[in-house]
Chains A and B, each alone.
Chain A
Amino acid sequence: MSFDLNRAITGRVWKFGDSVDTDSINPYYLYSTMAELKKHTLESFRPEFPKEVKPGDIIVAGRNFGCGSHRPGLVLKEIGIAAIVVESASRLFLRNSIALPMPIFIAPEIGKIIEDGATLELDYRRTLARNVATGATVTLRKYPPTIEAIFESGGMAAFARKRYLAETAS
């Protein structure tokens, strides 16, 4: 389940505003199964999203993405979202995305270079996001090595398993 931070990602953009909440991403109070969640994720912001989203699409959003509860963005991974790029992420959503892991990138200027439906290229190795049509770029924030290591291990659960095996083997 790990993903390679060094592999570039290109996809069609779904653009959202500020303070998109985890109740909307993951309305599990109303829909208890993953199959149902996939049909309703983010509909409170954009009713057409769950109907029209395609695997490989990218979410671009404003500040405080994923505010609210500790619930993860697993459903976004399940519907095939390739990456999330935000001006800022809610602390717990960011921590969840690292732990899952789910590609998430912080780019405070992202809203300025890309419109809904346009194609975005993400190159974490060069810490750049690029609007494919216009060529405009903004910087992606680099993660500290601890966080890169969790991403590369395949998330916190795999990280925990690896440590447990190493400790019990000795």
Chain B
Amino acid sequence: MGQTLAEKLLSRHNLAREPVKAGDIVDARIDGAMCHYHFMDVHRLAVQAGFTDGFPRVWDRDKVFFLIDHHQPALSQSIADDNALIRKEASRLGVNIFHDAEPGIAHQMILDYGLARPGELVVGMDSHTIGYGALNAGATGITRPDLMYAMLFGELWFQVPSSVKIVLKGTQPRYPIAKDIMLYLAGKYGDDFAQNMSIEFTGPLVPQLSIDSRACLSTHGVEVAAKFAMFPADEKTDAFLRGRTDKPYEPLVADADAEYVREIVVDVDEMPFVVAKPHQFGNVVPVDEVKGTRIDQAQIGSCANGRFEDIEIAARMLKGRKVAKGVRFLVSPASQQVYLQCLKTGLIEQLIESGAQVVTPGCGVCQPKVGFLSAGEVCITATTRNFKGRKGSLEAQIYLGGPLTVTAAAVAGEIVNPKEVFHEL
């Protein structure tokens, strides 16, 4: 019997050097471990466990990545104090890859700086680590005690997941639809249809998808409960990595006779624009069902939708138009690199001229850190989650949509089918 991508991945990294199959538990060698702003919590765990002076070592100074992402620039005194301690620890441990003076989302910076490559097993102390699957990396979120273990030994236990194949068919329109695809899947199959599984994206749409779209799809793998969410590596993967990494890599390729627990086919030509209503990712309806819902805030950003193409479509649609009076339209590039690209191509100027606000790169707009909502307020957002209280008040309503749907709502002042606002589509 052939192997899935996940079985190939964990066979390749199995310390016992034996092929594995779904259900097996393995101790695996890891290629990279990402640690973000919560490092001091991991440090404190190590102290509690008996390492009274903190970590005695890291297993590989080039494979532990520290990024002070969510909390850069410091949002409070206590965060500033923790960030200072992280700098001290990073220096003491000799961590070579340390981004501490640069705002942005760790996951996008990992992609920007070529730190996750095809075929690698990369773990991170954040659920959206799974997004590096866009580049054919086996990437997944782990817990703080797991990270402590991984930083010390460069190894970790995994259960080899079963796999679900998602076949994407149809044609890429002239606007991003990755968000709509994941919302559509969650709405149709439930917000845990891939619980503990590995998603493999395949089908004729895949070569048409940009790396930005693939990153959105892989990142949202966790919103349908997956462990991995991987794309095959192709010319676009190689082109993206060129100039970002000079290390060789060996992509994973699934066997033709690999076994999948489920195969789901999505024809994007037949897919409507969709939104998730409050307060769950899987609470999805076609946008027409909630049209006319007035909004107070619209947002584009996060590790799901803060990439160039998400901001490009907003700027393109805003040309010659204005954000509706009274609507706060927050746009936050995922990283400094994305921000710079947007700036050089004139997108930022267009956003500001049309009445949008540009927020420093980072996780803030996806959480109640930037742009809190008051009771009764309504927000539509191209970010990761819409749990109750995610933007402050438990009485606020958060809808999730793609960047095009969000921009249409920002212009109309209410949720609307983008085709009714943007006749050029």
Which A residues are closer than 8 A to B by beta carbons?
A: 19, 21, 23-24, 27, 29-30, 32, 43-44, 63-64, 67-70, 72, 88, 90-92, 95-96, 99-100, 144, 146-147, 150, 155-161, 163-164
Contact = CB atoms under 8 A, between A and B. Distances in A.
B149 A160 contact: yes
B101 interface: no
Contact of B144 (A44, A72, A90): A72
B141 interface: yes
Contacts of A150: 157
B153 A70 contact: no
A65 to B, nearest CB: 10
Nearest to B150: A160
Given A24-B388, A156-B145, A68 B153 contact: no
B49 A161 contact: yes
A61 to B, nearest CB: 12
Q: Interface residues of B toward A: which range?
A: 35 or more
B85 to A, nearest CB: 16
B78 A32 contact: yes
Contacts of A24: 387-389
Interface of B: 25, 45-46, 48-51, 56, 76, 78, 125-127, 141-146, 148-149, 152-153, 157, 159, 191-192, 195-196, 222, 225-227, 279-280, 282, 367-369, 385, 387-390, 392, 394
Contact of A156 (B148, B227, B387): B148
Contacts of A30: 368, 389, 392
Contacts of B191: 19, 64, 67
Contact of B149 (A21, A27, A159): A159
A92 B369 contact: no
Contact of B385 (A68, A92, A95, A146): A68
A160 B49 contact: yes
18 contacts: A19-B191, A19-B192, A21-B387, A23-B388, A30-B389, A44-B389, A68-B387, A70-B142, A88-B192, A95-B143, A99-B146, A144-B25, A157-B46, A157-B48, A160-B49, A160-B148, A161-B50, A164-B152
Nearest to A21: B387
A146 B28 CA distance: 13
Contacts of A160: 49, 145, 148-149, 152-153
